Structure 1
Amino acid sequence: MAETVFAPWDDPNEKPLIRFRNVNKRFGDFTAIDDLTLDIFEREFFALLGPSGCGKTTMMRMLAGFEDPTDGAIELAGQNIAGVPANKRAVNMMFQSYALFPHLSVWDNIAFGLRRESKDRAAIAARVDEMLKLTRLEKFAQRKPHQISGGQRQRVALARSLAKAPKLLLLDEPLGALDAKLREATQFELMDIQEKTGTTFVIVTHDQEEAMTVASRVAVMDEGRIMQVATPERIYEAPNSVYVADFIGDVNILHGTAKPIGEDTYQLTWAARELPVTAVSARPFSDGQACHLAVRPEKVSIHKDKPDTDNAVQGKVLDIAYLGNLSTYHVELPTGDIIKAQVANTRRISRRDFTWEDPVWVSWTKTAGVLLAE
Structure 2
Amino acid sequence: MDAVPETKPWDDAEKSPLIRFEGVTKRFGDFTAVDNLDLDIFQGEFFALLGPSGCGKTTLLRMLAGFEVPTQGRIMLDGQDIGPVPPNRRAVNMMFQSYALFPHLTVADNIAFGLKRSAMPKSEIAGRVEDMLNLVQLKGFAGRKPDQISGGQRQRVALARALAKAPKLLLLDEPLGALDKKLRQETQFELVDIQEKTGTTFVIVTHDQEEAMTVATRVAVMDNGRLAQVDTPDRIYETPNSVYVAGFIGDINLIEGKVASCGDGRTKIAWAEGQPDIECDHAGALEIGTSCTFAIRPEKTAISKKQPENTANAVSGKIHDIAYLGNISTYHVRLDSGHIIKAQTANRERRAGQGLTWEDSVWLSWSPTAGLVLTR
Answer with 31-40 or 279-288: which moved more.
279-288
Counterpart of 2:263 in structure 1 is 262
Corresponding residue for residue 330 of structure 1: 332
C-alpha distance in structure 2 between counterparts of 1:4 and 1:159, whole Å: 23
Deviation at 1:102, TM superposition (A): 0.6
Matched, 1:145 2:146: yes
Contact 2:173/2:204 (8 A) holds in 1: yes
Whole-Å separation in 1 of the counterparts to 2:287 and 2:82: 45
The CA distance in 1 between the partners of 2:285 and 2:241, in whole Å, is 13
Match of 1:56 in 2: 57
Partner of 1:110: 111
Taking the aligned partners of 1:268 and 1:225, their CA distance within structure 2 comes to: 30
SS in 2 for 1:66: coil
Which runs of structure 2 are paired with 1:124-273 in the superposition (5 Å)?
124-273=125-274
Q: 2:359 aligns with which of 357, 360, 366?
A: 357
Match of 1:71 in 2: 72
Q: Is the 8 A contact 2:262 2:286 kept in 1?
A: no
Amino acid at match of 1:170: L
- In the alignment of these two chains, the number of paired residues is 372
Q: For 1:215-252, what per-residue CA distance to the aligned partner results, in whole angstroms no more than 9, with x for missing partners?
A: 00000011111100000000000000011001010000
Q: Distance in 1 between matches of 2:308 and 2:49?
A: 41
Matched, 1:316 2:336: no
Identify the residue that residue 97 of structure 1 maps to in structure 2.
98
Partner secondary structure for residue 136 of structure 1: coil
Q: Please state whether the residue corresponding to 1:61 is helix, strand or coil.
A: helix
User: Alpha-carbon deviations, 1:2-58, whole Å to 9, x = none?
Assistant: x97331100011000000011100000000001110000000000000001110000
- Secondary structure of 2:23's counterpart equals strand
Calculate the TM-score normalised by the size of structure 1.
0.98
User: Displacement of 1:303 after TM fit?
Assistant: 1.5
CA shift digits 1:318-346 (9 cap, x unpaired): 00100111110000011211100001111
User: Which digits, 9 at most, give the CA deviation of each residue in 1:82-105, with x for residues without a partner?
Assistant: 121000100000000000011111
User: 2-side partners of 1:122 and 1:279: how far apart?
Assistant: 66
* Alignment pair present for 1:339 and 2:345: no
Alpha-carbon distance in structure 2 between the residues aligned to 1:86 and 1:261: 54
Q: Counterparts of 1:272 and 1:20 in 2: how far apart (Å)?
A: 48
Partner-residue secondary structure (3-state), 1:122: helix
Cα distance per residue 1:148-174 (max 9 Å; x no partner):
100000000000000000000000000
**Aligned AA for 2:237?**
Y
Equivalent pair of 2:114/2:165 in contact (CA under 8 Å):
yes
Deviation of 1:283 after TM superposition, in Å, equals 3.1
- Asked whether the equivalents of residues 263 and 285 of structure 2 are also in contact (C-alpha less than 8 Å), the reply is no
Question: RMSD over aligned Cα, in angstroms?
Answer: 1.2
- Name the amino acid aligned to 1:191: V
CA distance change for structure 1 residues 118 and 15 in 2, over 3 Å: closer, same or farther? Answer: closer
Number of the residue aligned with 1:295: 296
Q: TM-score, normalised by structure 2?
A: 0.97
Measured after TM superposition, the shift of residue 349 of structure 1 is: 1.8
Number of the residue aligned with 1:35 = 36
What's the offset of the Cα at 1:259? 3.1
Cα shift readout 1:117-169 (whole Å, capped 9, x = no counterpart) = 14222211111110000001110001111111000000000000000000000
Alpha-carbon distance in structure 2 between the residues aligned to 1:282 and 1:45 = 32
Q: Secondary structure at the match of 1:356?
A: coil
1:262 Cα deviation from its structure 2 partner: 2.8
Question: Would the alpha carbon gap of residues 226 and 143 (structure 1) be closer, same or farther in structure 2, given more than 3 Å must change?
Answer: same
Q: Distance in 1 between matches of 2:189 and 2:7?
A: 18
